[in-house]
Amino acid sequence: MERREAQWGFLFISPWIIGLAVFYAFPIVASLLLTFFDASLTGAERNFTFIGLDNWIRFFNDPMAWKALGVTVRFTLLVLPVGIFVPLAVALVLNSKALVAPGLFRVLWFLPYVIPFVAGIIGWLGVIGQNGPLNTLIELFGVQDAPLWTNDPGLIYPALVLMGIWGIGSAIVVYLSGLGGVPTELYEAAMVDGAGWWASLRHITLPMITPVIFYNLILGVAGSLQYFLVPQVLNGGNGSPEGSTLFFNIYLFKSFFTYQDPSYGATLAWVLFLITLGLSLILFGTQKRWVYYAGGDR
């Protein structure tokens, strides 16, 4: 009977298993195997040759790949703190009892998130453009030569971070749910002990929502390393200005499709995966030191 039930169970979940095998497992394994072959579509020879670790060695000697990795790391270091702390700060304000009409503000902060991101980016390009409202505002303060935000290597990252703030609605919602889960009796006890707002935040709120911060941190790291959509929409992935938006994922995409070199593109994809995995494991390794799970150790 149990065996029969199991068979029925497998039958019912078989679409999912087949989907997983065909659309995830197979491409993952195939892409790994591809890294050991020369499958370039260009050139006179039509070979699909086993080349061992050549693609991996090529990565270590590819200045453009390292440049793209450097761009991605620099941007991650800039965007990650903003992506973690700005939504946290907003969530704290939205969770405050002193705020009038908190529901309205929550909706307003979340609204941009539901707008297709590509449309949002195009809108932002108008805002930060040469003659856009941001520069008009800056000129009101007496700045004669308003900056070219998207064409200045020194300003492009702040511009990208600014655009990124547009999409923090999701993180705010996660923080709000975390803040809602902090037991109110802890605040009442702290108040009895004479703790003020700052002490409550530091000793109760932040420790209690560290799992949520950790969750956002993991997502933020993975998201930053895979940054693709904004530069692709911004300039078609051409890396301008001066290569400062040649993110690793853009280079990976170009290697696959623009340069018609799928085996090297697959290698770059695996490099990105290994870096993301490594950083995630490091972060998971640190969580014992700073993440508090009320239900016990994880």
Q: Does 50 bind another protein (CB under 8 A)?
A: no
5, 16, 60, 63: which one binds another protein (CB under 8 A): 63
Give residue 142's Cα distance to chain centre.
36
51 touches 66 (CB < 8 A): no
Q: Does 265 bind another protein (CB under 8 A)?
A: no
Q: Does 154 bind another protein (CB under 8 A)?
A: no
Question: What is the rounded CA–CA span in Å between residue 257 and residue 260?
Answer: 5
Stretch that binds another protein, among 42-50, 81-89, 115-123, 217-225 (CB under 8 A): 42-50
Q: Does 43 bind another protein (CB under 8 A)?
A: yes
Q: Which is nearer to another protein, 145 or 193 (CB)?
A: 145
Q: Which is nearer to another protein, 125 or 208 (CB)?
A: 125
Question: What is the rounded CA–CA span in Å between residue 190 and residue 133?
Answer: 46
Q: Which is nearer to another protein, 73 or 148 (CB)?
A: 148
64, 99, 108, 118: which one binds another protein (CB under 8 A): 64
Exposed/middle/buried for residue 78 (C-beta within 10 Å: 0-12, 13-18, 19+): middle
Q: Which of residues 232-261 bind another protein (CB under 8 A)?
A: 235, 238-243, 254, 257-260
Dihedral angle, C-alpha 25, 31, 33, 36, nearest 10 °? -170
Q: How many residues line the site for another protein (CB under 8 A)? A: 29
Stretch that binds another protein, among 8-16, 23-31, 149-157, 211-219 (CB under 8 A): 149-157
Write down the least CB distance from residue 265 to another protein, Å. Answer: 12
Residues that bind another protein (CB under 8 A): 41-46, 58, 62-64, 129-131, 148, 150-152, 235, 238-243, 254, 257-260
